[in-house]
Amino acid sequence: MKIAFLIQDISTEGGTERTTCCLAQELARRGHKVAVVSVFRNEPQPYYTAEGVAFIYLTHKTYTLRETILTRLRKAWRERALVRSCKELQEADYIICQKIAASFMAWSAGFGHKSIACEHYRYTMYNAPVRRLRKRLYSHMSAVVTLTKNDQKAFEQSGLKNVFCIPNMVSISPLPYQGEDSKRIVSVGRLTAQKGYDLLLQAVSLIADRMKDYYIEIYGEGEDRPALEAQCRRLGLNERVHFPGYCADIETVYAGSAFYVMSSRFEGFPMVLLEAASSGLPIVSFDCPEGPAVLLKDGGGILVERENVTALGQAILTMIQDPALRNKSHNESSAIVEPYQPEQIGKQWEELFKNLSK
């Protein structure tokens, strides 16, 4: 089977780009002919790669998520002729469209009948007018794939048919856990409001004098870095919280950390929690929509009320002070990731292709 992924820009670093490459590689491993078609290109070389997968760039124009969704859709509309003329998209049996802009490009190029719209954000991410536009767009697609059952239900209740839930797969090859005696607490994500690092700093400020030698490293970059660094200084946390930036060897960081903390206000499906769990890390997380409650329903860490900084600080302190809890959470982590192994997720996608072919 010929399968093409359509994405705004595969060259950049991000969760969607990583999961695209992971799924593309798994489908190629299963014997499909797979191509990733990127309409835009910010970087000369892609941050992620995939064995056995062709990478095609339609333009060298840049693309950014900092623009409004309507601005991004207008950009997508202007490139519809290039999308329409792409051989890999023309010949594909199915086109997997990553996010709403890619789905819009596939539909505007006349490929909606064989396109699968993949949603990487929670259902309520956009305001009501955009949701109405999205519903109308997705009604012309072959199927819609969500990352969580809650989002699948929301799309179905809106009146859409052929909605399926297939979560993301574990996207790293973890190293053996070596963090039993580590004093490093780790978090990974874009430095943006969504990730709630301002809330994490508030939580740490409440317990800083009781953290002993423990400290937090927040890996990533983003537009909120100056504000977060200023907040860190204002709260007197420069010895407790560090911002190392991007890390090309995040597997080593995971393996050598004591536990993981996630302070997001919302998520589509938190890949970082899967990565952390696959590395054996205990987890402390806000119960934000969507995903953490599902991943931690059978253990693996501590889940606290969404955006409750006092509860988050106390949970971090509890994990620091209770080595038995850390060990228990570490032992439970393998069960968390088992349903999200590449082979399991690849199998679900092949079942979807078969269902759509009937």
pLDDT digits (tens, 9 = 90+) for 133-163: 999 999 999 999 999 999 999 999 999 999 9
Q: What is the pLDDT of residue 241?
A: 98
In 94-191, beta strands by DSSP E: 94-98, 115-118, 143-146, 163-165, 184-188
Lowest-confidence segment of 3-12, 53-62, 288-297 by average pLDDT: 288-297
Q: Sketch out the chain's domains with CATH numbers.
A: 2-169+341-357 (3.40.50.2000), 184-339 (3.40.50.2000)
DSSP 308: -
* β-pairing verdict for 2-7 and 94-98: parallel
Q: What is the pLDDT of residue 39?
A: 94
Q: Is residue 189's pLDDT more than 80?
A: yes
User: Which residues make beta-bridge pairs with 34?
Assistant: 3, 53
pLDDT classification of 12: cutoffs 50, 70, 90: confident
**What value does the mean pLDDT take over residues 177-202?**
96
Torsion sign (Cα): 46, 48, 52, 55: negative
Angle at 289 between CA 98 and CA 20, to 5 degrees: 20
Q: pLDDT, tens digit, for every residue of 60-110? A: 988 887 788 888 888 888 889 999 999 999 999 999 999 999 999 999 999
**What value does the mean pLDDT take over residues 237-265?**
95
Q: What is the pLDDT of residue 63?
A: 81
Q: What is the pLDDT of residue 227?
A: 98
Asked if residues 243 and 191 have their Cβ atoms less than 8 Å apart, the reply is yes
Q: pLDDT, tens digit, for every residue of 279-316? A: 999 999 999 988 899 899 889 999 999 999 999 999 99
Cα separations (Å) of 222 from 189, 212, 267, 291? Answer: 9, 29, 16, 23
User: Which residues make beta-bridge pairs with 186?
Assistant: 217, 260
Give CA–CA dist 151/122, Å, rounded: 6
Q: Is residue 179's pLDDT more than 80?
A: yes
Q: pLDDT, tens digit, for every residue of 21-36? A: 999 999 999 999 999 9
**What value does the mean pLDDT take over residues 169-193?**
93
pLDDT classification of 199: cutoffs 50, 70, 90: very high
Q: What is the pLDDT of residue 268?
A: 79
**What value does the mean pLDDT take over residues 179-204?**
96
DSSP 167: P
Give CA–CA dist 13/214, Å, rounded: 29
Q: Percent of the chain, pLDDT > 70?
A: 100
Give CA–CA dist 227/199, Å, rounded: 12
3-state helix, strand, coil in the chain (%, to 5): 45, 15, 35
> To which residue do tokens 């982590």 refer?
333
CA-wise closest residue to 330 among 252, 262, 257 = 257
Q: What is the pLDDT of residue 70?
A: 84
Strand, coil or helix: 3 = strand
Cα separations (Å) of 340 from 1, 32, 48, 246, 294? Answer: 23, 20, 19, 25, 12
Give CA–CA dist 153/15, Å, rounded: 23
Residues 6+ apart with CB under 8 A from 321: none
Q: What is the pLDDT of residue 14?
A: 80
Return the exposure string of 284-311: e unless at least 16 CB atoms fall within 10 Å of the residue's CB, then b. bbbebbbbbebbbeeebbbbbebbebeb
Asked if residues 19 and 271 have their Cβ atoms less than 8 Å apart, the reply is yes
**What value does the mean pLDDT take over residues 188-200?**
95
Q: What is the pLDDT of residue 122?
A: 83
Return the exposure string of 201-225: e unless at least 16 CB atoms fall within 10 Å of the residue's CB, then b. bbbbbbbbeebeebbbbbbbeeebb
CA-wise closest residue to 96 among 173, 164, 11 = 164
